[in-house]
Amino acid sequence: MDLIGDYVRIGSKLVKDNLTLLVRERKKKSKKPKLFLAFYNERFKYLSSLFPTEEENFYLFDDRKNSYLLELRQTEARINLFLLDKV
């Protein structure tokens, strides 16, 4: 499944082609980030915590294979592959 690309944002839903992601807020306080990302088809399936960056409305997450950068805007969102610089 290709997460990279531009999404239409409808509230907490991010929609691209036949893929729908949900940005959700944890109900209970914990050490984990407040927001997380989930797949939504007919069922809800957790994907990853959303880690805030220094820049507002930008979050890092991973799918155990790759790291991604999520940019949330008012009516759209964009997910790009996030590559770490190796030292």
pTM of the complete model: 0.89
Six-digit token pair at 73? 């805007």
- Please give the angle made by the CA atoms of 60, 73 and 14, to the nearest 5 degrees: 75
pLDDT, position 85: 63
Residues 6/75, Cβ–Cβ less than 8 Å? no
Element (H, E) at 79: strand 76-81
Across 1-21, average pLDDT: 94
Residues 19/6, Cβ–Cβ less than 8 Å? no
Across 52-81, average pLDDT: 96
Q: Is the pLDDT confidence value at 47 over 70?
A: yes
β pairing state of 51-52 and 44-49: unpaired
Across 32-50, average pLDDT: 93
